[in-house]
A and B are shown apart, each in its own frame.
Chain A
Amino acid sequence: MPQILVEALAKTYRVAERAPGLTGALRGLVRRRWRPVHALADVSFSLEAGELLAFIGPNGAGKSTTVKILSGILRPTSGRVEVDGLVPYEDRVRHVARIGVVFGQRSQLWWDLPVIDGFDLLADIYRVGPERYRRRRDELVAMLRLEPLLDQPVRQLSLGQRMRAEFAAALLHDPTILFLDEPTIGLDAPSKLAVRDFVRQLNREQGVTVLLTTHDMHDVEALAERVIVIGQGRLLTDGPFESLRTSVLAERRLHIDFAGPAPALEMPGVTVRARSERSLELAFDPAEIPVAKLIAAVAAQHAVEDIHVDEPAIEEVIARFYDLHDAGEA
């Protein structure tokens, strides 16, 4: 029995249609015309305990709607959801006591209170006993290096510091599932790394099931073994990121610096992506031309100074994938 089960999930909102301008706004007050918007059309997936899943897709694809339904805030139009045997939106209070949620764009903490006071209050809200609370809090404070921040009001924290405090706040009641909605948005590079390290540790060492939405493909690369791509309310793919890469953009790139001027290279199955005076960037399909063979062929004909192979950046793979599925922002 999977920990999270989602079957044929659909969510349709009604959006008021309105003519532009002031007259349109006034007319809208009298008579409204509604237009259905299918935020989720038919989404099914399941998640075993201890998995780490990244949920990606362009803006408006339905990621947030899915997270909101899973966390019990929203009721779907149709479909079935079960998390640990509970239907989130039927049994909100019991359900949310077992999950942790971190929103990158919204704070869970009390703006004017010192961090530690917010933690104390959360322990009471979640009915965490004093002994268990003290142990869990000390553990999280150590993991997230929060000690020097505890007596500062939340409003004085930097975004990176605040996110660390947010993680602790979401985990004080020891949830077995953690939903992360764009947890690294706006963070500087070291803070992003810290967040990723922490999430990985939580997942690997404590067995917490993690469902993450993000636009930062480095989050995906660093964390997720499994990726679900969603577009226009539909599930487009579900699997390891590497299989997505091979199915969408299997090509490799060969960067060559020449000792002299870059030659006009022409080989079947190889395209020139970029050229400058003394260097070339080639794209090729390794299934057609093995790397070793291509390098040997180039080096045999030209004086090569430096050479290296890489893959298209993950952003490029995803952008190509959205294009292929016509899933760009609506």
Chain B
Amino acid sequence: MNALALYGRYVATSLRAQAQYPAATLMLTAGHFAATAIEILGVFALFDRFGPVGGWSFGEAAVFYALVNIMFSIADLLSRGFEAFGTDFVRTGAFDRVLLRPRAAALQLAGYEVRLSRLGRLLQASVVLILASSLVPITWDAAAVATAVWAVAGGVALFAGILVLQATLAFWTIDSLEIMNVLTYGGVQAAQYPLNVYAAWFRRVLTFGLPLACVAYYPVLAILKRPDPLGAPDWFLPLAPIAGFAFLALSFVAWRAGMARYASTGS
């Protein structure tokens, strides 16, 4: 069985395990829906009180919000094994069991658990996207849909990359570091506002350091068919999400270094 098919088997297995506790899964999902729904209400309240921010209407901001949350929720849905790597695998020694199986460790961790409860955020973000589409003039032509899908793919790769880095750090620190939540949850918060509302240094961080703008801000400009007020060329906008994949690739380079360290320390 090839890696992809095996990954599918892992996913099915994880879903079946969660089906053992249907009430808990449903309530967690509903909880995630409600908790994230409050966020968008907060954004709405902000725009309602102060009017357009940085030249963006609430509807446009909601498109950023929706896409970033869709990306993050999918990454979060799929990367539980990396997020919990320190506490669930390194500290308990369960990583040894992973290494005893003749498959790439990263594949096994990716398939460790698919958290259905994260569908709550995904659902909420999708609802916001539909609402936003009625507030602002978006024509969902083939190009716009393709750009959106491509941006989401890049964004999932980027957030997954952050979680792989978090896991990699656990090779050194043993525990999963909550501090990495600054990059995940903080990143979601930062990327759900248009880039031009930020100071120049922070814009550079979001473009070249942790390239959240490349998977959210620039492709959304392309979808809204607006030129970049900051002056990025039009051809760059739909290409930008590739940065998410580059980030994920670099994360796996670090991951390999962590694996080598584990083999020499064993804890």
Contact = CB atoms under 8 A, between A and B. Distances in A.
Interface of A: 13-14, 65, 68, 71-75, 89, 92-94, 96-97, 101, 103, 106, 108, 110-113, 117, 121, 124-127, 153
Contact of B100 (A14, A65, A94, A96): A96
Given A106-B97, A112-B17, A126 B266 contact: no
A73 B263 contact: yes
B55 interface: no
Name the residue in A72, A92, A96, A110 with the highest tally of chain B Cβ atoms < 10 Å from its Cβ: A92
The majority secondary structure among interface residues of chain B is helix
A13 B102 contact: no
B256 interface: no
B102 A126 contact: yes
12 contacts: A13-B265, A68-B96, A73-B96, A74-B266, A75-B263, A75-B264, A96-B102, A106-B94, A106-B97, A110-B13, A117-B13, A124-B9
Nearest to A77: B264
Interface string B1-23: 10001100110010011001000
A112 B96 contact: no
A121 B14 CA distance: 11
Contact of B16 (A101, A111, A113, A127): A113
A71 B104 CA distance: 16
Interface of B: 1, 5-6, 9-10, 13, 16-17, 20, 93-94, 96-97, 99-104, 263-266
A13 B94 CA distance: 20
Given A68-B96, A73-B96, A112 B102 contact: no
Contacts of B10: 121
A285 B5 CA distance: 67
A72 B265 CA distance: 13
Contacts of B96: 68, 73, 103, 106
B93 A117 contact: no
A65 B265 CA distance: 11
B97 A93 contact: no
A97 B104 CA distance: 12
Contacts of A65: 266
Given A74-B266, A111-B17, A117-B13, 15 more contacts: A13-B265, A73-B96, A92-B99, A93-B103, A96-B100, A96-B101, A103-B96, A106-B93, A106-B94, A121-B9, A121-B10, A124-B5, A125-B102, A126-B101, A126-B102
Contacts of A111: 17
Contacts of B99: 72-73, 92, 96
Nearest to A109: B97
B100 A112 contact: no
